[in-house]
Amino acid sequence: MTVQIYHNPRCSKSKQALSYLEKKGISPEIILYLETPPTADELGLTLLKLDLSPRDIMRTNEKLYKELELNDPSLSDEALITVLCAHPILIERPIVINGDQAKLARPADVIEEIL
């Protein structure tokens, strides 16, 4: 099974998670999600593996979050997934996936739970 990481090379937390994996001898498949956003199906599956809701992985401090009024509680999970796929900058990172498990790797050492 290939370990995957939703990675943003400009993000220090993302770089820490990638380094953590590499120190464990793991060369993950790097998903540059800002360049190649996940589909709604892919993100939905990732959320199931994370056992989180779309709101749990949203970067609420992003200007776009406020502009799109994503704090509206009436927005469905499906609507939020659509927004996250259209605007991947709103996805919290890094996300590490190993088989049927995933972790939002903040801090990086929580990755150990799925290795």
The residues annotated as belonging to the active site are 11
Run of H or E including 92: none
Q: Work out the burial of residue 78: count CB atoms within 10 Å of its CB; fewer than 13 is exposed, 13-18 middle, 19 or more buried.
A: exposed
Instruction: Give the span between the Cα atoms of 25 and 84, in whole angstroms.
Output: 31
